[in-house]
Structure 1
Amino acid sequence: MSEMIEKKSQLESDVMHTLEHVIDPELGIDLVNLGLIYDVTVVDGDCEVKMTLTTMGCPVGDMLDKAITDAVLEVEGINHLNINLVWEPAWHMNMMSRYAKVALGIHE
């Protein structure tokens, strides 16, 4: 996660940091630590968040969409947001950070 942030612009890093405060209501862990955010790109104030969900039928998808939109559009310098929901690569538990795994009681 931190490696991706270092290679990004400051604005992209700010968006990623903001997404660390968007909590999956079912799991109680933020989207970044869950490994659901694949990429953040900002060009001229237009932001694209490439992400996935834990399952295709995720019942909180709409709620997350609103929470992400509200959070990202609060970042100074972001004028527009496009959420690019993808299913490849498919999400799996190994994409979670150590923090998320410990918080959820997953031991490797």
Structure 2
Amino acid sequence: MNHEEVVFSREASVIQIPDGNGLVIPAGTAAWVMQVLGGNFTVRLETGHLIRLDGQDADAIGREVPDEARQKVTDPSELTEELIWEQLSTVYDPEIPVNIVELGLIYGCQISDNGVDGKRVDIEMTLTAPGCGMGQILKDDVEYKVSHIPGVSRAEVELVFDPPWTPEKMSEAAQLELGFF
């Protein structure tokens, strides 16, 4: 598989994979784009380390902001549970080329009234491993993407580990993509 070589044209804040720590990449750093999923870039540095570059910082590597990084819903009256699930399917673990819905990480989603200022969305989510360094990053991604849907005033993710995640929770498509079949 060919990966596009890029050079950072400006300093950019990124997240190290898999530990989830923040890092600043200086301008002039060479790297390779490994995948673009969920509006974010997974990039390999010359050192071999993987990082996640937010799609909004695509210009740092000479790219356009991916469509998935842009908000698609504009009418708050369109808010449905199906729409929330669609938005959740735009969140990816940067190490795995399958979205968190197909991975089986979302255990539940509930929409409720939050008074006069919109709807509250509560999401139960797990991780592939309890000690996953990217856990807080994924949780933050979900809360950010769901809370920016018009009509949603608050989104909260509860990380749960009972029942624990197993590969059987993945969709058949995800299992095929990851070579489990």
TM-score by length of 2: 0.52
Which of 142, 145, 151 is the equivalent residue of 1:77? 151
Q: Deviations over 1:58-89 (max 9, x none)?
A: 01112112211121012221110111111111
**Gap regions ≥5 residues in structure 2:** 1-78, 114-118
Identify the structure with bigger relative contact order (alpha carbons < 8 Å, sequence gap 6+): 1
**Gap regions ≥5 residues in structure 1:** 1-9
| 3-state SS of 2:102 partner | helix
Distance 2:133 2:80 in 1: 30
The equivalent residue for 1:20 is 89
The equivalent residue for 2:122 is 48
Q: Which runs of 4+ in 1 moved over 3 A?
A: none
The equivalent residue for 1:31 is 100
Give the RMSD, CA atoms, in angstroms: 1.1
TM-score by length of 1: 0.86
Question: Is the contact made by 1:14 and 1:75 (CA closer than 8 Å) also made in structure 2?
Answer: no
Larger-Rg structure: 2
Q: Would you say 1:102 and 2:176 are equivalent positions? A: yes
Q: Number of matched residues?
A: 98
Q: Which has the higher strand share?
A: 2
Q: Which has the higher helix share?
A: 1
